[in-house]
Structure 1
């Protein structure tokens, strides 16, 4: 999806909130992110329903959201921009009109409470209709790569991604190898099993987003990189 400029508004969604004004829950989970404050996302986040989450492909995408069609609860003219950082799971035991707001085929955003209050008159609204659209992500600093796994299994978490935000493919290259495609393990965690030869090599990464833009970060991890280390590359 091209998000160099704002995309068209879609109206068929609703929003709820989690936690309290201090953030409450961290909302870590289905995208693989860690501490959202340390990673630069803060409270400007949301969990997406099945219809929007797309099996984790939407992780990192940014949306602008506005409450609509509810004069009692909507704060006119107020919008928030959030990053998709988690999954709002469906509850098959509940019909859509009795609390199953994240059930397919509904499009739903579970916002942090501060984001929900920003677009409504009062958190007692509970759930409100919203319109939404994809917007570019603006992040401070470069893309971050958290290097996980073990000598026989490389897993990389990609975060703080600007531009379209949602990574569609990740490739890695050692200083003594060619480019190798990684596989989405879950959310924005990508793995490369059976590649122990990358230990002891400087690592480069090529990140491609859903809008097909790519950026290459050469030798961002030094040859002496360690599992658990986070390195920073170029940005969109």
Structure 2
């Protein structure tokens, strides 16, 4: 058999380079250098679980979503340690978790996708490598037992896991739940797809320009303005820098206690 020609060798090398470029572009989906951007690489952490004393209880959380089942999050939720929680800005973000390093307790080949709805407070009465699971600098996830058992046997307790930030996929549009009284308006923003978390909000009445809202806590945003009797529009910006605008989401006869649905980010 004759030796391959120099032209043939160059052709093969070029094909391999093109193939490697395609593979990298297909699997790497970091949106920006921001720590809150979705990531393709798996990072180490640990996870524990909690069980409600009564399965009928409505378990809310530090993000302000209230009844998680009614809000559409169900049991696929997670509380984050201080090193991950970002003082509530990360509320609504989605993570994929998988169990690692423990063949006795891990359920192999499984992972679970959860939405951030809660905060695991530090306990400085213990050291981070003792009972202070959520103390800095620990990266720790606290799951409902129903979610934990998707990736590990419940007897495992404090498990090593790997995690990565992913895009959120939600059914329907972004939800705006109205609260407050008189000229104080509080809006809970939930069911956010894409990056999942919200970094800025603007509101507009039919007789106003765009007014910036402040973060009250979690994903509750507030403003002091008289907007009753006006249809309301919202402009939402997520941590990846994308913005979605929903015009006239709430009709002019909107009232406190009502929830309205607007446009949605692509997931």
**Fold match by TM threshold 0.5:** yes
Q: Does 1:175 align with 2:235?
A: no
Structure 2-normalised TM-score?
0.83
Structure 2 residue aligned with 1:47: 79
Q: Does 1:185 align with 2:216?
A: yes
Structure 2 residue aligned with 1:86: 118
After superposition, residues 138-177 of structure 1 pair within 5 angstroms as 138-177=169-208
> Hey, what's the Cα distance between the residues in 2 that align with 1:92 and 1:2?
36
Q: Does 1:111 align with 2:143?
A: yes
Listed as ranges, the gaps of 5+ residues in structure 2 are 1-29
Change (3 A) 1:95 1:76: same
After superposition, residues 4-43 of structure 1 pair within 5 angstroms as 7-19=39-51, 26-43=58-75
CA contact (8 A) 2:94 2:196 kept: yes
CA contact (8 A) 2:95 2:114 kept: yes
Displacement of 1:6 in angstroms is 5.7
> Hey, what's the Cα distance between the residues in 1 that align with 2:40 and 2:174?
27
Displacement of 1:7 in angstroms is 1.5
Displacement of 1:191 in angstroms is 0.6
CA RMSD of aligned residues (A): 1.8
> Hey, what's the Cα distance between the residues in 2 that align with 1:25 and 1:133?
30
Higher relative contact order (CA 8 A, sep 6+): 1
The structure with the largest strand share of the pair is 1
Structure 1-normalised TM-score?
0.93
Displacement of 1:180 in angstroms is 0.8
CA contact (8 A) 2:175 2:191 kept: yes
Displacement of 1:20 in angstroms is 5.6
Displacement of 1:40 in angstroms is 0.8
> Hey, what's the Cα distance between the residues in 1 that align with 2:126 and 2:237?
38
Structure 2 residue aligned with 1:75: 107
Listed as ranges, the gaps of 5+ residues in structure 1 are none
**Alignment partner of 1:184: what SS?**
strand
Which stretches of structure 1, 4 residues or longer, exceed 3 Å deviation after superposition? Answer: 20-27
> Hey, what's the Cα distance between the residues in 1 that align with 2:38 and 2:124?
34
Displacement of 1:8 in angstroms is 2.6
**Alignment partner of 1:131: what SS?**
strand
Displacement of 1:226 in angstroms is 0.3
> Hey, what's the Cα distance between the residues in 2 that align with 1:52 and 1:230?
29
CA contact (8 A) 2:231 2:253 kept: yes
Q: 1:216-236: CA deviations, max 9, x gaps?
A: 110010111001110110111
Displacement of 1:22 in angstroms is 8.2
**Alignment partner of 1:54: what SS?**
helix
